[in-house]
């Protein structure tokens, strides 16, 4: 077994590998860029080596520097994680040629599966079901139309070297085929340096289901059940679960056996994943093979009780697999939510900055410890006070739950999301909560078009379903009453002028443009010692008990004898008296005041926000990579003005109307904050 390994990655996957290595008694080496000097994976590792500047192309993508770091520290093996160089055959070969073990498949297996056209040829030869289409590179748009007609619309136009949703278009007619062909080629050329494009049949109502493989160097290959990855936004996975609520045992077995056949055809060893698209009739077709550990590997670990990182390390060290296919378990149900630093209410734009508060829910099962299952696990590479840099992807944590069945797992996940405190950057937790509460998701009735279908106009606050929205009002009143009770006990109050807690309140739910909602609330039977009270909102009664302190953001307790977790923050709505209450994805900003104060508040005039229509504002924190206009220049509505880049995403900003540029308020290369003015018009 290795004595020391280097992790050629960052963030949560680097931390995940370190945990398993530490349990196995293996020393670890982290690598880091300028942006990651204070990162969690650097602090966790036994050693750390600086490898370059913040952009990944100047650090984490530089194979020679990583190999040099191995030689410098005496690391015997490299674990690539996922992303960056994990599926780079040239890097894997260079590592081996340097006398270092690559903890992953052999370079020739990576190369065979890295080319989507070649991989489909190999899959067909190995007897794997392939989607009807033409796997040869297409030269012209006219040829693309002819092939699309022969296959039958709709079709998918895909770049051979594509990935992560780049270089992919769906065409339903000749015009879309012509436009899609050109777009795919350009996108693929710019992103991957390879403009080869092919066409295949688009499976309607498709599910994205993948088979986890593990293979050793002795020729043993196992499939470790499947993962359901159909909940996707713009081809990026959002929620994953294992097993799938859709496929039958017979389909699972057939998919697993075909995945094994493909792995053997390319002499595969290590962990890998074969992805399939599955039709509504459970017909399935090969998509691609990911020759690395997957982001969503924890759900497989939960239902099988296997540590996939440990198996990868042992296989790389030449050990045989410790189990047979018949011994692979499938226990309970696991769900993973990707917690991303993005604002779902602003079209999921990236959100970067400092994590002022980062408190995940309490863990009861842990990465690298599969002896403790049925609970909550958090895989993350950040910590309280850490920085979310603009240079890398937006995922800051993976929240994983494991329950006895799917219904329990969904319930556990919703409660875990309620207790996940993130402040300083926006997160997609409200969106995850909305998905988990959606009736179609709960019923297991969804496909890869689920998000596009149900949130076609974007995600808005009203899209968050809450079984009882008045509970948030009752909770705000409970916390305010608790605060007033404490104020009554303050010493030194003048006789006759002391604070009185009272029972009658009005909860003012603050709305946009001054459209507030006024709700009378009664708080009875308050008992400070036990932290309990009876709250009446309209015809509803809530018996709330909570011993949480007033300065706790995360409030835990019971309502009508049912446990709950919610978040309450004071003063975020630019009003020191306001309370922000969050539960099950729903959020309200509220003032809890006396009935008389509520009457007076209604008389307050609404102060309209300033008119910013003359400005182009940055929609997200990021780097200003281009300004396409000059002072005095006339622009037309829709004309390109600037480009802001963050977390591998480019956002092009356009002129909102015909105008003349008055001033440039930022310069190329500037780091911008949200809503920072870039250009002013006259």
Q: Domain of 318: which CATH number?
A: 3.30.470.20
Query: Is pLDDT of 164 > 80?
Result: no
pLDDT bin (cut points 50, 70, 90) of residue 162 is: low
For residue 91, pLDDT over 70 is answered with: yes
Percent of the chain with pLDDT over 70: 99
Can you give the CATH number for the domain in which 42 is found? 3.40.50.20
Within this chain, do residues 481 and 552 fall inside the same structural domain, yes or no? yes
| C-alpha neighbours within 13 Å on the C-beta side of residue 35 | 21
Report pLDDT for 163. Answer: 63
Q: Is the pLDDT of residue 190 over 90?
A: no
Mark whether 39 and 77 lie in a shared domain: yes
pLDDT at 192 over 90: no
Q: Could you tell me if 425 and 322 lie in one domain?
A: yes
635 located within any domain: yes
**Residues known to be catalytic:** 288
* Number of helices followed by number of strands (H, E) in the chain: 17, 39
Are residues 196 and 223 both part of a single domain? Answer: no
**Segment holding 252, helix H or strand E:** helix 249-265
Residue in 666, 668, 662, 667 with CA at minimum distance from that of residue 680: 662
Q: Which residues contact 1 (CB under 8 A, 6 or more apart)?
A: 24, 25, 26, 313, 314, 317
| Residue 161, pLDDT score | 76
Task: Examine residue 560 and state whether it is found in any structural domain, yes or no.
Answer: yes
- Specify whether 378 is located in the same domain as 307: yes
Judge whether 140 lies within some domain. Answer: yes
Q: With a cut of 80, say whether residue 510 has pLDDT above it.
A: yes
Residues 533 and 398 in one domain: no
Answer yes or no: do 241 and 372 share one domain.
Answer: yes
116, part of any domain: no
Is residue 490 very low, low, confident or very high in pLDDT (cuts 50, 70, 90)? confident
Pair 213, 195 in one domain: no
Predicted local confidence at residue 272, as pLDDT: 98
Does position 504 have pLDDT exceeding 70, yes or no? yes
604-613 CB burial, b ≥16 within 10 A, e <16: eeeeeeeeee
Same domain as 214, residue 189: no
Instruction: Report the domain count for the chain.
Output: 5
How far apart, in whole angstroms, are the C-alpha atoms of residue 248 and residue 251?
5
Which domain range does residue 662 map to? 615-681
Read off the CATH number of the domain in which 665 is found.
Answer: 2.40.50.100
Q: Assign 359 to helix, strand or coil.
A: strand
Whether residue 379 is found in the same domain as residue 245: yes
DSSP 309-320: HHHHHHHHTTPP
547, 575, 601 - which closes a domain? 601
CA 55, 58, 59, 62 torsion-angle sign: positive
Which tokens sit at 260?
């094994």
Residue 491 lies in a domain: no
Judgement on whether residues 424 and 316 belong to the same structural domain of the protein: yes
Residue 56 in domain: yes
For the ranges 21-25, 233-237, 508-512, 644-648, the lowest mean pLDDT is seen at 644-648
318 and 416 co-located in one domain = yes
Is 463 within the bounds of a domain?
Answer: no
pLDDT of 58 over the 80 cut: yes
- The pLDDT value given to residue 505: 96
pLDDT at site 168: 86
For the ranges 94-103, 152-161, 323-332, the lowest mean pLDDT is seen at 152-161
CATH number assigned to the domain comprising residue 556 = 3.30.700.30
Determine how many CB atoms are found less than 10 A away from the CB of residue 327: 10
Residue 19 resides in a domain: yes
Residue 294 CB coordination number (10 Å) = 21
Domain's final residue, options 201, 235, 251:
201
Confidence at residue 553, expressed as pLDDT on a 0 to 100 scale: 93
Among 171, 186, 201, the domain-final residue is 201
pLDDT in tens, 255-277: 999 999 999 999 999 999 999 99
Mean pLDDT lowest among 48-57, 154-163, 176-185, 576-585? 154-163
User: What residue spans of 25-115 are helical by DSSP H?
Assistant: 40-44, 63-73, 89-97, 107-114
Q: Is the CB of residue 412 less than 8 Å from the CB of residue 334?
A: no
Question: For the whole model, what pTM was predicted?
Answer: 0.88
Is 649's pLDDT higher than 80?
no
Average pLDDT over the chain, rounded to an integer? 93
């Amino acid at each position: 077994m290795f004595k020391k390994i280097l992790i050629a990655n960052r963030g949560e996957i680097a931390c995940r590998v370190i945990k398993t290595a530490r349990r196995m008694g293996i020393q670890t080496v982290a690598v880091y860029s300028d942006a990651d000097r204070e990162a969690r994976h650097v602090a966790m590792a036994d050693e750390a080596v600086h490898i370059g500047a913040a952009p990944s192309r100047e650090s984490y993508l530089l194979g020679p520097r990583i190999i040099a770091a191995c030689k410098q520290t005496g690391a015997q093996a490299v674990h690539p994680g996922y992303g960056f160089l994990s599926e780079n055959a040239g890097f894997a070969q260079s590592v081996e040629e340097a006398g270092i073990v690559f903890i992953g498949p052999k370079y020739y297996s990576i190369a065979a599966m890295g080319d989507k056209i070649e991989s489909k040829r190999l899959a067909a030869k190995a007897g794997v079901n392939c989607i009807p289409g033409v796997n040869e590179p297409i030269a012209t748009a006219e040829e693309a139309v002819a092939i699309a007609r022969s296959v039958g619309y709709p079709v998918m136009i895909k770049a051979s070297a594509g990935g992560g949703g780049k270089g992919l278009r769906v065409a339903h007619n000749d015009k879309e085929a012509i436009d899609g062909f050109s777009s795919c080629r350009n996108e693929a050329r710019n992103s991957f340096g390879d403009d080869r494009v092919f066409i295949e049949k688009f499976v309607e109502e498709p599910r994205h289901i993948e088979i986890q493989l593990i293979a050793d160097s002795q020729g043993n290959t196992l499939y470790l059940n499947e993962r359901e990855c159909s909940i996707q936004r713009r081809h990026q996975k959002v929620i994953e679960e294992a097993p799938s609520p859709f496929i039958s045992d017979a389909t699972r077995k057939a998919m697993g056996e075909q995945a094994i056949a493909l792995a053997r055809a390319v002499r595969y060893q290590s962990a890998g994943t074969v992805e399939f698209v599955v039709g509504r009739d459970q017909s399935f077709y090969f998509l691609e093979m990911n020759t690395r550990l997957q982001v969503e590997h924890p759900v497989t670990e939960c239902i099988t009780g296997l540590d996939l990182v440990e198996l990868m390390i042992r296989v790389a060290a030449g050990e045989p697999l410790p189990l047979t296919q018949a011994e692979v378990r499938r226990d309970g149900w696991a769900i993973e939510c990707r917690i991303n630093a993005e604002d779902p209410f602003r079209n999921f734009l990236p959100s970067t900055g400092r994590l002022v508060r980062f408190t995940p829910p309490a863990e009861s099962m842990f990465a690298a410890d599969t002896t403790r299952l049925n609970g909550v696990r958090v895989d993350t590479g950040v910590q309280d006070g850490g920085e979310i840099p603009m240079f890398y992807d937006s995922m800051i944590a993976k929240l994983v739950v494991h329950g006895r069945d799917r219904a329990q797992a969904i319930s556990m996940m919703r409660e875990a999301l309620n207790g996940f405190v993130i402040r300083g950057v926006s997160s997609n937790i409200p969106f995850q909560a909305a998905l988990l509460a959606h009736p179609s998701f709960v019923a297991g009735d969804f496909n890869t078009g689920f998000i596009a279908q149900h949130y076609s106009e974007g995600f808005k606050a009203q899209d968050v379903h809450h079984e009882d929205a008045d509970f948030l009002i009752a909770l705000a009143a409970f916390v305010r009453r608790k605060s007033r009770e404490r104020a009554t006990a303050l010493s030194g109050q003048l006789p006759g002028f002391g604070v009185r807690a009272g029972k009658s309140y009005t909860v003012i739910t603050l709305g946009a443009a001054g459209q507030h909602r006024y709700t009378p609330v009664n708080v009875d039977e308050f008992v400070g010692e036990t932290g309990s009270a009876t709250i009446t909102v309209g015809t509803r009664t809530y018996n709330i008990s909570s011993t949480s302190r007033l300065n706790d953001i995360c409030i835990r307790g019971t309502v009508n004898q049912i446990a709950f977790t919610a978040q309450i923050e004071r003063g975020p709505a630019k009003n020191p008296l306001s309370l922000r209450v969050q539960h099950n994805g729903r959020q309200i900003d509220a003032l809890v005041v006396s009935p008389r104060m509520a009457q007076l508040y209604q008389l307050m005039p609404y102060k309209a926000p300033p008119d910013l229509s003359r400005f182009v504002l940055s929609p997200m924190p990021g780097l200003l990579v281009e300004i396409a206009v000059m002072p005095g220049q006339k622009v037309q509505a829709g004309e390109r003005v600037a480009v802001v880049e963050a977390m591998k995403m480019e956002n092009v900003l356009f002129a909102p109307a015909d105008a003349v540029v008055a001033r440039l308020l930022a310069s190329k290369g500037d780091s911008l904050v949200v809503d920072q003015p870039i250009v002013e018009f006259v």
